[in-house]
Amino acid sequence: MATVAEILTFVETLAPRSMKMDWDNVGLLCGSRNTPVAKVLVALDPFEGVCREAAQWGAELIVTHHPMIFQPLKAITDETSIGRSIQLLCRSGISAINAHTNLDCAPGGVNDILAKKLGLSDIKVIHPDGTDAQGRPYGLLRSGEVEEQSLEAFLSLVKQNLNCPGLRYVDGGKPVHRVAVGGGSCAGGMQEALDAGCDTFVTADVKYNQFWDARDLGLNLIDAGHFYTENPVTEYLCEKLREAFPEVEIKISETHGDCMKFFG
Amino acid sequence: MATVAEILTFVETLAPRSMKMDWDNVGLLCGSRNTPVAKVLVALDPFEGVCREAAQWGAELIVTHHPMIFQPLKAITDETSIGRSIQLLCRSGISAINAHTNLDCAPGGVNDILAKKLGLSDIKVIHPDGTDAQGRPYGLLRSGEVEEQSLEAFLSLVKQNLNCPGLRYVDGGKPVHRVAVGGGSCAGGMQEALDAGCDTFVTADVKYNQFWDARDLGLNLIDAGHFYTENPVTEYLCEKLREAFPEVEIKISETHGDCMKFFG
Amino acid sequence: MATVAEILTFVETLAPRSMKMDWDNVGLLCGSRNTPVAKVLVALDPFEGVCREAAQWGAELIVTHHPMIFQPLKAITDETSIGRSIQLLCRSGISAINAHTNLDCAPGGVNDILAKKLGLSDIKVIHPDGTDAQGRPYGLLRSGEVEEQSLEAFLSLVKQNLNCPGLRYVDGGKPVHRVAVGGGSCAGGMQEALDAGCDTFVTADVKYNQFWDARDLGLNLIDAGHFYTENPVTEYLCEKLREAFPEVEIKISETHGDCMKFFG
Amino acid sequence: MATVAEILTFVETLAPRSMKMDWDNVGLLCGSRNTPVAKVLVALDPFEGVCREAAQWGAELIVTHHPMIFQPLKAITDETSIGRSIQLLCRSGISAINAHTNLDCAPGGVNDILAKKLGLSDIKVIHPDGTDAQGRPYGLLRSGEVEEQSLEAFLSLVKQNLNCPGLRYVDGGKPVHRVAVGGGSCAGGMQEALDAGCDTFVTADVKYNQFWDARDLGLNLIDAGHFYTENPVTEYLCEKLREAFPEVEIKISETHGDCMKFFG
Amino acid sequence: MATVAEILTFVETLAPRSMKMDWDNVGLLCGSRNTPVAKVLVALDPFEGVCREAAQWGAELIVTHHPMIFQPLKAITDETSIGRSIQLLCRSGISAINAHTNLDCAPGGVNDILAKKLGLSDIKVIHPDGTDAQGRPYGLLRSGEVEEQSLEAFLSLVKQNLNCPGLRYVDGGKPVHRVAVGGGSCAGGMQEALDAGCDTFVTADVKYNQFWDARDLGLNLIDAGHFYTENPVTEYLCEKLREAFPEVEIKISETHGDCMKFFG
Amino acid sequence: MATVAEILTFVETLAPRSMKMDWDNVGLLCGSRNTPVAKVLVALDPFEGVCREAAQWGAELIVTHHPMIFQPLKAITDETSIGRSIQLLCRSGISAINAHTNLDCAPGGVNDILAKKLGLSDIKVIHPDGTDAQGRPYGLLRSGEVEEQSLEAFLSLVKQNLNCPGLRYVDGGKPVHRVAVGGGSCAGGMQEALDAGCDTFVTADVKYNQFWDARDLGLNLIDAGHFYTENPVTEYLCEKLREAFPEVEIKISETHGDCMKFFG
């Protein structure tokens, strides 16, 4: 039977550790490399609800994008959500592995998925950090093209393709043609998007002053939500894992979704 | 005629310098204390549009909440929005003063205004930093009460009273009764809000993981927008300045609004 | 039935949190405050063997001096001893609490126990950090007197009373009369011991240059082992817990001892 | 007509940005790249008097060695000299560019000019930082030779050639033959001067302990004044700018000089 | 016979250790507290020439203002002046004590001496750091008055009273009436001097930009030399030591003077 | 006659400066390069007793492993052991040179000597830092083989070969075959020893938690004493110096030994 170690090795073929940011925490963060795995639950986050779903379903492994542990832990008690999650995993013999910024940067990863989901063509890595073993450039952001259209038209497309309940945006005063994408909190890459010739940038967790900066720079900036810009990668992980481990039962969490709602 | 210095002194009666955060930059950030003032433009931000409006209207002073200069400047050129703004003010002889975190914390300031705007009663300072000359407590956040109601009902109230185009929120699983408020980016104060017995927190610039933290803590967290939670203070400033300087023409910017839009 | 929370509260009556060093990690580091407790295992360290013993015995709580987690954790896997220990505790529903530098400093704690074990009289706190609720001084080191004797005679006494297999020491050139004690790694307090009029200092984990420093300062310095200088506190904890919780079964670990051996 | 951008590009041909120290601030620090330029005022410093002279003369640009902004600015008010200077430049539409440590280090720059002004032959860069596009070494200090002479004779030469009112010096006990030069505050380079075989070092802003260090090292150390050692570069800048922009009126400030005087 | 310890105790009555700056190094920096002392050499600096003079004269102690060791030493070899000095002192059994910033700040110390030497009346401590055992304020700078006079007249007075070969100064545009003094490198205290109502400041080691700052602030700033502003304290030390230790032979160094010369 | 400089040059042929750790202090730390040398005292440490022995014997040079000065010195008085040592060396005209971490790392140095002393075969550098001029790898730790034996048998061998009075150790649960060695405080290199395939590690100054870490890692860890693991290098230095300087009298200190004793 496949083990946690084998599945981790495979995930790190898709998203090599060497592509992660220095501050990141990725790989096997809870459990045991030797655990045999019959069921894998895939989700964007390893939050408490996901851990409970995995335990109820009888999974031996959860595979997520965000790490189980981000701030190193000084205690593991039931007073915190992370403490309860870890206690549950340990009690249930469930391991947790993740690929975070390595999966953001990897060819085919979070941001390539996002670019494709938006229907971009001529997809390129913005400011590549290097090339992988197959000579493909990797790095955080992607840019690509859509047929030139009004911002309003593109907003509809984003909302529909990412299936998100709402968008926040600023109008940079240009039609949409070349689009940068960065799933999650990538608004700090605005200048790089402009330098790469983009008129529009789709990302999330954008702050007040960043919307103003975008307007000053003449960049259409769209916050489509952290969850909606990154969650598509779970389908990709699911498919790849199923191909590689046909004997393992693999599914995307049925309970996890964005806890944040729009009221408008 | 009133001078910039006199108006600054008055503003710092409303919002004493001693109440500001260490890292903040407040007071006269551009211009001259001695300039006689006949017209004052009040706005949330000293952005380029506001500076242009002030120049066109013939104001000698702009009074804002956010500071003209936040990151200390290494150059003042027309290649940046801040550079163009400062050049315009200098060319037009316009001074710029502001009260930022001192106005957030001051009795009657940004957060008291926000609490009142939401119709809260029994308004208290959460974790006061001290008391002012009149013995009133001051500090960043406020809490207050509404008649117990569903979260949905309260969301309607917030949207209507702040006149904002949309809200982002997480449902903490409790009805709304005691509400904490912190205009702008105050989501870091979640635990303090809970410790003060609040079930609901209205603030802005909330990030993905903060929505999840709120849900884990059982707190209704509402992001009503940086602009909409803080802009009400401009009316307050305007009124107070008119009372104190009846001979000066004072108005709120007619062009400034949130550049961020909702698409939903 | 007693809960983890009640036992923790009691332990922190003996060793108040406020007496701990800034860098230390004490209290409930694993488990749940609400767990009912019928069996408590007491040990100097919460190492893997102790966790296993607790699980086999059916304890719901381990009470130790050293903390379960010292370096904050970035992963909890079975590749490390700490990871295996935490997994076992979580699986077995065992909580772990500790009192470390607060117990070193507390009146009646680690260093008072050590002083008594060595038969010192006129025991005083060296450089008190303050006084507790009952007005008793607290602080890290203790000094006390023995009848003046040769260093050799005192070495015999230390070895016998602490039941340790061997000692490392340097002869400071004086007979033994006033003795400072600091269980564990306290050799950095040498100068304080001298300032307090001591001729002899019993501690552990002494390094080469510290032995030479002691000789230069004319201080007899005795390394009696980290385990042997601190372990006596487990009896004290055991007794106090039994008095306070007569219905709970409490015992000292039967498997834990110093892993370090002498060959001489 | 020439623009600020064209003149800046030319200045940075003489003194490439890549030659500047990490901490330095050079280039266009105030104004606009697009301003057409008919008159340029050249000066060592962009101080208030120079700004006033530029405004009165009707210049659109000042070119200086020292930067307009050194400590990044938190306010631009008429309470400080720098604030008044910037307000005046903005009001008068005058841009300010500078080449500081890049001009110190560049071939032909501040220190080559100083070496020539002192009549040195066989001029070399001490400890070159690299070579420029034409293969010429660049770096901070220069050394060169004079016919061997007494220190007294050389002091006369320095005073006369730099036209300075007085010198401060220490006698290192050697005749003068190989001379290091570093305009401005370069006394920290004493050891490098010695390592390069120099017996004498001409620089400025020398402190008490540095004179003693020089004497201990057997180095004649001459403080000829920050202004007098660097100001000769203004003639060089003026000439080069006139050659490159024959249609622009270019002159050296007629009002700027050293504010420091000798009384002896 | 008096010992080094007794003389140090006396010096620290004049200049209590508690008055020194945090970064300073004062007291017994070389030698032995127990050495009996028949001859003391007093000098501003413990430089090599002074050490040689002490050895030749047969002194057992040198008392200086500046410390023997400022940068902590990693080696003591004859390749450096400080290494040679220490070797000579050790070889000759000479101890070295000093009072540096404690003597600058002490009532009656370096800056009171300097103020008196300039004939100031109504001498006050600028920004006192506290009061000494006798209730006298202490602190770095002093201010005092002269009969209002032209700057030129005051320059003559300074040069004559301090017996210095030359002065460097900037004209702040005011007549001289209230004068701040700070021996050595105190130009950083310019704003404090102005706040204390001074029109003129006498100090040393002034840099180019500090002269300009003073001019901008309207302050006459005079650099009278580090040596000439501080050396008068040696007479004071000599007198006080002679009074306290009449049986000890005490003299000021006959060889030490400023190594820096003027050429003008 | 040989000079200090010549002997230092030779020592740094054995242990090149470039091999030292960044934080280390090596070379000539006291005295003079030009001193002619007839007698050299070699010792592990330059402690006070060694300095006295050198003075009594009439040596002009001491050559040690540990540096004379480790913490840079702020004073050189007879109140500290290091102060008394330096005063004595200066008074007696004795120089002090040392090779510390450069000698630990050098081919043939401290750790090669230790490995040979233990009879290891197939000695290799663990994690080499580079190669020396002759192409030999250098670095801190060494590994080598003994015939497979019980830990008890190897403990006897260590005690006998290093002639040490006692050992402290933890049993890692494996027989002894491949052994890592690091004289002095090298327990931090445990993981490297394991990565290099070692079952056993001989070093010194091991702390309580390090013994436990070793046990968890399945590594036999032996603390044979700082002195006993490093002192063998003195014989090596002595021999090499005698070969190179046959006319100089060279001996190992007859008084220096470990001040620490075992009582067991």
Q: Summarize pLDDT for A28-66 with one digit per residue, the tens.
A: 999 999 999 999 999 999 999 999 999 999 999 999 999
Q: What is the pLDDT of residue F75?
A: 98
Whether the CB-CB separation of F158 and F229 falls below 8 Å is answered with: no
D138 CA: distance to closest CA in chain B (Å) = 26
What is the three-class DSSP state of A49?
helix
**Non-local CB neighbours of E224 within 8 Å, separated by 6+ positions:** E158, E159, E162, E164, E167, E202, E203, E204
Residue E264: which of D167, D212, D259 has the nearest Cβ?
A: D167
Residue F166: which of C80, C159, C264 has the nearest Cβ?
A: C264
Chain F touched by C208 (CB under 8 Å): yes
Residue A1 pLDDT greater than 90, yes or no: no
Whether the CB-CB separation of D88 and D53 falls below 8 Å is answered with: no
Chain D touched by B78 (CB under 8 Å): yes
Q: What is the pLDDT of residue E264?
A: 83
Residue B264 pLDDT greater than 90, yes or no: no
Q: What is the pLDDT of residue D264?
A: 83
Residue C197 pLDDT greater than 90, yes or no: yes
Task: Give the pLDDT confidence of A85-136 residue by residue, as tens digits.
Answer: 999 999 999 999 999 999 999 999 999 999 999 999 999 999 999 999 999 9
φ, ψ of residue B60 to 5 degrees: the values are -105, -5
State the DSSP string of B10-68: HHHHHS-GGGS-TT---EEEEE-TT-B-SEEEEES---HHHHHHHHHHT-SEEEESS-S
> Which of A60, A52, A57, A99 minimizes the C-alpha distance to A256?
A52
Which whole number is the average pLDDT over E106-122? 98
Chain B touched by A170 (CB under 8 Å): yes
Chain B touched by A165 (CB under 8 Å): yes
Chunked mean pLDDT (size 10), chain D, 264 residues: 97 98 98 98 98 98 98 98 98 98 98 98 98 96 98 98 97 98 98 98 98 97 98 98 98 98 93
What whole-number percentage of chain A has pLDDT above 90?
99
d(CA B1, CA D169): 57
Residue C164: closest C-alpha in chain F: F264
Q: Around Cβ B185, how many Cβ atoms within 10 Å?
A: 18
How far out from the chain centre does Cα A227 lie?
Answer: 8
Q: What is the pLDDT of residue B206?
A: 98
Q: Tell me the CA distances in angstroms from B165 to A235, B161, B206, one per residue in order.
A: 33, 11, 16
Task: Give the pLDDT confidence of C150-188 residue by residue, as tens digits.
Answer: 999 999 999 999 999 999 999 999 999 999 999 999 999
The one-letter amino acid code at A231 reads N
Whether the CB-CB separation of B111 and B182 falls below 8 Å is answered with: yes
Chain F touched by C138 (CB under 8 Å): no
> Which of C97, C50, C201 minimizes the C-alpha distance to C140?
C201
Pairing of strands A200-203, A220-223: parallel
Q: Tell me the CA distances in angstroms from E256 to D209, D212, E49, E51, E240, one per residue in order.
A: 14, 12, 7, 10, 20
Residue E248 pLDDT greater than 90, yes or no: yes
Q: What is the pLDDT of residue F55?
A: 98
The rounded mean pLDDT for chain B is 98
* Side-chain-side CA neighbours of residue B165 (13 Å): 14
Question: Is F207 in contact with C226 (Cβ distance < 8 A)?
Answer: yes
Give me the sheet containing D61-64, strands edge to edge: B76-77, D27-31, D95-98, D61-64, D39-43, D249-252
pLDDT category at C203 given cuts 50, 70, 90 is: very high
Chain D touched by E154 (CB under 8 Å): no
Its pTM surpasses 0.90: yes
Task: Give the pLDDT confidence of B134-152 residue by residue, as tens digits.
Answer: 999 999 999 999 999 999 9
Enter the tokens of residue A239: 């498919």
d(CA A94, CA D143): 72
**Non-local CB neighbours of F108 within 8 Å, separated by 6+ positions:** F14, F236
D107 CA: distance to closest CA in chain E (Å) = 25
Q: What is the pLDDT of residue D11?
A: 98
Could you tell me which chains touch chain E, where touching means 3 or more CB pairs under 8 A? D, F
Residue D204: which of E185, E208, E225 has the nearest Cβ?
A: E208
Question: Is A212 in contact with B262 (Cβ distance < 8 A)?
Answer: no
pLDDT category at E93 given cuts 50, 70, 90 is: very high
Which whole number is the average pLDDT over A158-165? 97
Chain A touched by C22 (CB under 8 Å): no
> Which of D191, D229, D155, D150 minimizes the C-alpha distance to E261?
D155
Task: Give the pLDDT confidence of E212-234 residue by residue, as tens digits.
Answer: 999 999 999 999 999 999 999 99
B64 interaction partners in chain A (CB closer than 8 Å): none
The residue with tokens 């060959």 is C263
Pairing of strands F121-125, F142-149: antiparallel
Task: Give the pLDDT confidence of D67-91 residue by residue, as tens digits.
Answer: 999 999 999 999 999 999 999 999 9
Residue C95: closest C-alpha in chain A: A77
D159 interaction partners in chain E (CB closer than 8 Å): 263-264
Give a three-class secondary structure readout of chain B: CCEHHHHHHHHHHHCCHHHCCCCCCCEEEEECCCCECCEEEEECCCCHHHHHHHHHHCCCEEEECCCCCCCCECCEECCCHHHHHHHHHHHHCCEEEECCHHHHHCCCCHHHHHHHHCCCEEEEECCCCEECCCCCEECCCEEEEEEEECHHHHHHHHHHHHCCCCEEEECCCCCEEEEEECCCCCHHHHHHHHHCCCCEEEECCCCHHHHHHHHHHCCEEEECCHHHHHCHHHHHHHHHHHHHCCCCEEEECCCCCCCEEEEC
**Non-local CB neighbours of F195 within 8 Å, separated by 6+ positions:** none
The rounded mean pLDDT for chain C is 98
φ, ψ of residue D118 to 5 degrees: the values are -90, 5
Question: Is B208 in contact with A48 (Cβ distance < 8 A)?
Answer: no
Task: Give the pLDDT confidence of E7-49 residue by residue, as tens digits.
Answer: 999 999 999 999 999 999 999 999 999 999 999 999 999 999 9
Burial of B134 (0-12, 13-18, 19+ CB in 10 A): exposed
Q: What is the pLDDT of residue E130?
A: 97
Whether the CB-CB separation of F85 and F48 falls below 8 Å is answered with: yes
d(CA F82, CA F78): 8
Which whole number is the average pLDDT over B109-124? 98
B76 interaction partners in chain D (CB closer than 8 Å): 29-31, 69, 73, 76, 86, 90
Chain E touched by D264 (CB under 8 Å): yes
d(CA A65, CA A106): 13
Phi-psi region of C62 (alpha: psi -120 to 50; beta: other; left: phi over 0): beta
Chain E touched by D168 (CB under 8 Å): yes
> Does E contact D via 3+ CB–CB distances below 8 Å?
yes
Whether the CB-CB separation of C220 and C171 falls below 8 Å is answered with: yes
Whether the CB-CB separation of E95 and E4 falls below 8 Å is answered with: yes
Task: Give the pLDDT confidence of B5-27 residue by residue, as tens digits.
Answer: 999 999 999 999 999 999 999 99
The one-letter amino acid code at C165 reads P
φ, ψ of residue D72 to 5 degrees: the values are -50, 145
> Which of B170, B216, B182 minimizes the C-alpha distance to A227?
B170
pLDDT category at E61 given cuts 50, 70, 90 is: very high
* Side-chain-side CA neighbours of residue E51 (13 Å): 24
Q: Around Cβ B258, how many Cβ atoms within 10 Å?
A: 19
pLDDT category at C264 given cuts 50, 70, 90 is: confident
d(CA A25, CA A41): 20
Q: What is the pLDDT of residue D255?
A: 98
**Non-local CB neighbours of C86 within 8 Å, separated by 6+ positions:** A76, A86, A90, C30, C68, C73, C76
Which whole number is the average pLDDT over A187-210? 98
φ, ψ of residue C99 to 5 degrees: the values are -135, 110
> Which of A103, A116, A100, A108 minimizes the C-alpha distance to A202?
A116
The one-letter amino acid code at A35 reads T
User: Greatest CA span in chain E, whole angstroms?
Assistant: 57
d(CA B194, CA B177): 12
Could you tell me which chains touch chain A, where touching means 3 or more CB pairs under 8 A? B, C
What is the three-class DSSP state of E262?
strand
Q: What is the pLDDT of residue A176?
A: 98
State the DSSP string of E85-141: HHHHHHHHT-EEEE--HHHHHSTTSHHHHHHHHTT-EEEEESS--EE-TTS-EE-S-
**Non-local CB neighbours of F257 within 8 Å, separated by 6+ positions:** F227
Q: Tell me the CA distances in angstroms from C264 to A102, C220, F209, one per residue in order.
A: 53, 21, 22
Residue D77: which of B30, B75, B87 has the nearest Cβ?
A: B30
Give the residues of chain F that fall short of pLDDT 50.
none
Which whole number is the average pLDDT over E109-121? 98
Q: What is the pLDDT of residue F1?
A: 87
Which whole number is the average pLDDT over E48-67? 98
d(CA D84, CA D81): 5
pLDDT category at B1 given cuts 50, 70, 90 is: confident
Question: Is E86 in contact with F90 (Cβ distance < 8 A)?
Answer: yes
The one-letter amino acid code at F232 reads P
Chain C touched by A159 (CB under 8 Å): no
Burial of F22 (0-12, 13-18, 19+ CB in 10 A): exposed
Q: What is the pLDDT of residue D1?
A: 87
d(CA B259, CA A223): 13
